[in-house]
């Protein structure tokens, strides 16, 4: 069976959360009113037409990946989800880290990954790709979208940290707009994926720090979280 891949990324607009989480905060771990977060998640479910068929994560900046087969739950202590179930959406929440949405439409396998500095350097993306191939995906058929995240020009880090991450994730070290050491995690992840044999890697150009329509922890902490979803629709 062939599938169509659906990918969705939210913005700050359209929710009920109050400042500083205004308005469409989808993170339940940032100090927002839990009822507001639940209402926002219901709005998202209704908008994408999937009901309870969404899986969330309690993200911990790890290299842990879980295979899931039903919605309406939150998987604890993980930063990657993989499924082969059609119309089961995998959700990752971010506010500067990289949401990585991966799919093999031919094999019917998708993954959603939360790739912050620690997890990306620890190999979370490569582990998710391996979990996908274990579930039947072919690396050469996988397409990847790297969603909105802090750009290299705005991600200043100490020199030692830039060197450490570059060693673990080649291609990620850069120079910020101020001429200081920085990290471009999306560049490093794209380099890693291509080295692993992935042929299709697209990058959303938006920087969370620069774009006021997006949540950014570096710019506004405390603040809310965006959600990026991926799922399979059976082709008609």
Convert 111-129 to b/e letters by CB count within 10 Å (16 or more is b): bbbbbbbbbbbbbbbbbbb
- pLDDT average, residue stretch 180-191: 98
Residues 6+ apart with CB under 8 A from 34: 28
Q: How confident is the model at residue 235 (pLDDT cuts 50, 70, 90)?
A: confident
- Token digits of residue 47: 């908008």
Q: What average pLDDT does the chain have?
A: 97
Mind listing the pLDDT tens digit for each residue in 70-94? Answer: 999 899 999 999 999 999 999 999 9
For residue 126, pLDDT beyond 80: yes
Q: How confident is the model at residue 2 (pLDDT cuts 50, 70, 90)?
A: confident
Question: In the chain, what percentage of residues exceed pLDDT 90?
Answer: 97
**Euclidean distance between CA atoms 212 and 66, whole angstroms:** 33
Residues 6+ apart with CB under 8 A from 136: 84, 104, 107, 108, 109
Mind listing the pLDDT tens digit for each residue in 21-69? Answer: 999 999 999 999 999 999 999 999 999 999 999 999 999 999 999 999 9
pTM of the model: 0.96
For residue 236, pLDDT beyond 80: no
User: Phi, psi at residue 151, to the nearest 5°?
Assistant: -85, 165
- Token digits of residue 33: 């009113």
CATH number for 3-230 (one of 2.30.30.40, 3.30.1490.20, 3.60.140.10, 3.30.310.10): it is 3.60.140.10
Q: What is the CA angle 99-52-215, rounded to 5?
A: 30
User: Which residues, in sequence order, are bridge partners of residue 80?
Assistant: 65, 113
**Euclidean distance between CA atoms 107 and 24, whole angstroms:** 33
Q: What is the DSSP code string of 150-174?
A: --GGG-B--HHHHHHHHHHSTT-EE
**Euclidean distance between CA atoms 86 and 232, whole angstroms:** 5
Residues 6+ apart with CB under 8 A from 10: 24, 26, 44, 226, 227, 228
For residue 1, pLDDT beyond 90: no
């Amino acid at each position: 069976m062939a599938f169509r891949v659906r990918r969705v990324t939210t913005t700050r607009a359209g929710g009920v959360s109050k400042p500083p989480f205004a308005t469409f905060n989808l993170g339940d771990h940032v100090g927002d009113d839990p009822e507001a977060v639940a209402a926002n998640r219901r709005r998202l479910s209704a908008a994408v037409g999937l009901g309870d068929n969404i899986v969330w994560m309690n993200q911990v900046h790890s290299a842990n990946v879980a295979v899931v087969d039903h919605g309406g739950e939150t998987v604890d202590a993980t930063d990657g989800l993989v499924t082969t179930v059609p119309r089961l959406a995998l959700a990752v929440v971010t506010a500067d880290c990289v949401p990585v949405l991966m799919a093999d439409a031919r094999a019917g396998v998708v993954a959603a990954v939360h790739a912050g500095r620690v997890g990306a350097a620890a190999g979370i993306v490569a582990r998710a790709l391996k979990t996908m191939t274990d579930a039947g995906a072919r690396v050469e058929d996988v397409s990847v979208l790297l969603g909105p995240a802090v750009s290299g020009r705005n991600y200043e880090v100490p020199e030692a940290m830039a060197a450490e991450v570059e060693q673990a994730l080649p291609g990620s070290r850069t120079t910020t707009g101020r001429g200081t050491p920085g990290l471009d995690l999306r560049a490093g992840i794209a380099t890693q994926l291509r080295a692993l044999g992935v042929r299709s890697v697209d990058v959303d150009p938006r920087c969370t720090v620069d774009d006021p329509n997006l949540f950014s922890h570096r710019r506004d902490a405390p603040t809310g979280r965006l959600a990026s979803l991926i799922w399979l629709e059976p082709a008609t």
